[in-house]
Amino acid sequence: MDYIQRALTGDGAIRAIAAVTTDMTDKARKIHGLSKTATAALGRTLTAAAMMGCCLKGERDSITVQIDGGGPIGKVVCISDSEANVKGYVSNPEAEVPPKNGKLDVGSLVGHDGFLGIIRDFGLKEPYVGKVKLQTGEIGDDIAAYFAQSEQIPSIVALGVLVNRDLSVKAAGGLIVQVMPNAEERHIAALEKMVSEMPAMTKIISEGATPEDIIGYALSPFDSYTMKRFETAYKCDCSEERIEKALISLGKKELSDIIEKEGKAELKCHFCNKKYNVSADRLRELLEEA
Ligand SMILES: [Zn+2]
């Protein structure tokens, strides 16, 4: 079962978040029929969204990660709530590119001619939107660039997905290490050394490493730290009510057009592919509400 540990060193200088997300990545693969490299791309983004989700403060806050790099996969969109329930989709789930140096070439599938956007919704009128130019399209580097540029928090972000020959997910997870404003030069030097020696995320997770083990590696240079555990899972919260709200938000003209041309509406949730049928009678009621 997937979960996350969020840790803070005793002196408050370094924050580390580690996740094992093998189950959610495999669930996403099955829902969307993802290619091998698309599984890696969406799995990495879901993992990052979940780790950022469990740093949200308000119960009803949410975070959206949007990547549009101009590559064959199209857009990658993932949303997490403050309990690290995540959902996501990509524009072209079956898109694939050949491996590079024996590794899944996520950077080429996503592309790097575009932007990564993070939308933090705190239930206020306007959500907070941060946007950075993509670095490599490998996602981990791009999230790290977002933290550095948009939030001024130097961060190390490692994300990994390992896919079996039969396309099922063997291992997925990630690590974010962040240097807080009160960190000293020695903290940063110790972290840099740790990162240069740390084995690949997918290697240690496929060998059975837990989030505690990953935190243990990451924070080994530090004397003490505390941890907090978060369960995380792929979960869609769509409902008839939400779909109807979306229809209402289209406005009167669009709705009348649908009633006139289609008679009824057939909608599919982007995140879980569940289908919703809205009858002509119900559409007319929604038109009244619009
Ligand atoms: Zn759904």
Q: For 64-85, how does the pLDDT look when each residue is reduced to its tens digit (9 = 90+)? A: 999 999 999 999 999 999 999 9
> Fold for domain 240-289?
CBS domain Like (3.90.1280)
Mean pLDDT of 166-190: 92
Pair of tokens at residue 158: 């490692």
Distance 239 CA to ligand 1 centre (A): 7
Q: Provide the sign of the torsion angle of the four alpha carbons 192, 197, 203, 208, taken in this order.
A: negative
Distance 270 CA to ligand 1 centre (A): 7
Residue with tokens 């080429």: 108
58 versus 52: the higher-pLDDT residue is 52
Residues with beta carbon < 5 A to ion ligand 1?
236, 238, 269, 271-272, 274
Where in the sequence of the chain do the CATH 3.55.30.10 domains occur?
Answer: 3-234
How many angstroms separate the CA atoms of 131 and 150, rounded? Answer: 7
Q: What is the pLDDT of residue 185?
A: 86
How many angstroms separate the CA atoms of 287 and 252, rounded? Answer: 6
Which residues does residue 147 pair with via DSSP β-bridges, in sequence order?
none
Q: Which residues contact 126 (CB under 8 A, 6 or more apart)?
A: none
Q: What is the pLDDT of residue 212?
A: 96
Pair of tokens at residue 155: 């961060």
Distance 250 CA to ligand 1 centre (A): 19
Residue with tokens 């590559």: 71
Pair of tokens at residue 154: 């130097």
How many angstroms separate the CA atoms of 172 and 163, rounded? Answer: 9
How many angstroms separate the CA atoms of 95 and 243, rounded? Answer: 28
Pair of tokens at residue 133: 């130019």
Q: Which residues contact 260 (CB under 8 A, 6 or more apart)?
A: none
pLDDT digit string, tens, across residues 244-269: 988 888 888 888 888 888 888 888 99
| Residue 125 pLDDT greater than 80, yes or no | no
Where in the sequence of the chain do the CATH 3.90.1280.10 domains occur?
Answer: 240-289
- The three-class DSSP label of residue 39 is helix
| Residue 123 pLDDT greater than 80, yes or no | no
Q: Please state the φ and ψ torsions of residue 269, each to the nearest 5 degrees.
A: -70, 130
| Residue 124 pLDDT greater than 80, yes or no | no
| Architecture label for domain 3-234 | 3-Layer(bab) Sandwich (3.55)
What pTM, to 2 d.p., does this model score? 0.93
